[in-house]
Amino acid sequence: MKKLISSPESVVVDALRGMAAAHPELSVDLERRIVYRARPKEHGTVALVSGGGSGHEPLHAGFVGFGMLDAACAGAVFTSPTPDQVLDATRAVDRGAGVLHIVKNYTGDVLSFELAAELAAEARIDVRTVVVADDVAVTDSLYTAGRRGTGTTVLLERIVGAAAEQGFDLDEVHALAERVAAAGRSMGIALSGATVPAAGRPTFTLGDDEIEWGVGSHGEPGRERQPMAAAPELAARLVQPLIDDGLGTGDAIVMLSGLGATPLIELYGMLAAVTPLLEQHGVRPVRVLVGDYITSLDMAGCLLTVLPVDDELLSYWDSPVDTPALRWGRS
């Protein structure tokens, strides 16, 4: 294992210290491993809390800021945050209008957020929860009952974050989140495993000419292993499962995220192969993100997420956002 780290034990806290050093607009609680906005939003506004295992950066802490999250709870690498962490974050960001929990569908995450929501209710904080389960690859995998939650989480945090900023109440914010969660679809491929620092070796290994279809973001097995192929064939086998799963048509936000070790030149090439296939299906990519948005440590590969949108969703998307990893329209 060759990594730019101090020690396997300190990797999460070291990264959080780096985030604090790079982004003075964030307030980082190193002890609790929670990242907040340095300037909390106004009283009477719904707050958004997410979190999950570390190793998926910039998700989630990179999406804390105006127009997205109010707080992100960082678990250990590929390990859920604790209920206490989530409760602390929820208490800290509540501005009297309630808190939305945004949870990727992994058993540990779901349990932590559920327990935190119960404890928050006892403290008279109004909490709603949206569970993202958008990965069409498999159901009931190693860490998850039902589908795994992945790329749609990023798009949801952005869209719902905008609505919260605009003064939507908790029921409205929650309904919008459910709508986005229901519409988004994701499918990924891995060209290599990821190496968890504490383990020191890849979660799985692939042959020189082999790829894993529908891999989980913690290296959970996907649908199958197949021989490596050229970009157009890979693109077809990424897009088809989304269509088979009832992907909507019309305008869409498309995200092609690298998994951590795949460079931009490859991702753009893959996007060129994906786009005409989506268009043939009647999906028009009107906003596109290409780069590392939800990763799996140093895994090579990519994740395709497609979210059909109407003009309303698009207007939230386009409104100002100011986070380390997504930023536009605001000085």
Q: Which residues on adjacent β-strands are paired with residue 93?
A: none
Identify which of 119, 82, 80 has the alpha carbon closest to the alpha carbon of residue 99: 119
Among the listed residues 23, 101, 174, 218, the single catalytic one is 218
Q: Which amino acid is at 152?
A: T
The reply to whether 56 belongs to the active site is yes
Q: Which residues on adjacent β-strands are paired with residue 256?
A: 290, 304
Q: Strands 99-104 and 127-132, how do they pair?
A: parallel
Q: CB-wise, 62 or 241, nearer to a second copy?
A: 62
Alpha carbon distance 99, 96 (integer Å): 9
Report CA-CA distances (Å) from 253 to 31, 151, 183, 244.
36, 11, 11, 18
Q: CB-wise, 170 or 286, nearer to a second copy?
A: 286
Contact 44, 38 (CB under 8 A): no
The reply to whether 60 belongs to the active site is no
Q: CB-wise, 23 or 174, nearer to a second copy?
A: 23
Q: Which string of DSSP letters, residue by residue, matches 103-123? A: EES-HHHHHHHHHHHHHHHHT
Among the listed residues 23, 43, 56, 60, the single catalytic one is 56
Alpha carbon distance 3, 126 (integer Å): 42
Q: How far is the CB of 124 from a second copy (least distance, A)?
A: 36
The token duo for 12 is: 């999460």
Q: CB-wise, 12 or 116, nearer to a second copy?
A: 12
Alpha carbon distance 189, 205 (integer Å): 14
For residue 204, the 8-state DSSP code is S
Q: CB-wise, 94 or 298, nearer to a second copy?
A: 298
Give the footprint of a second copy on this chain (CB under 8 A): 2-7, 11-12, 14-19, 21-23, 54-55, 57-58, 62, 191-192, 208-209, 211, 228, 230-232, 234, 260-273, 275, 285, 288-292, 295, 297-298, 300-302, 318, 320, 322, 324, 327-331
Q: How far is the CB of 271 from a second copy (least distance, A)?
A: 4
Q: CB-wise, 56 or 147, nearer to a second copy?
A: 56
Q: How far is the CB of 315 from a second copy (least distance, A)?
A: 12
**Phi, psi at residue 298, to the nearest 5°?**
-105, 35
Q: How far is the CB of 149 from a second copy (least distance, A)?
A: 19
Q: How far is the CB of 214 from a second copy (least distance, A)?
A: 16
Q: Strands 71-77 and 34-37, how do they pair?
A: antiparallel
Report CA-CA distances (Å) from 201 to 2, 9, 140, 289.
10, 15, 25, 31
Residues identified as active-site? 56, 218
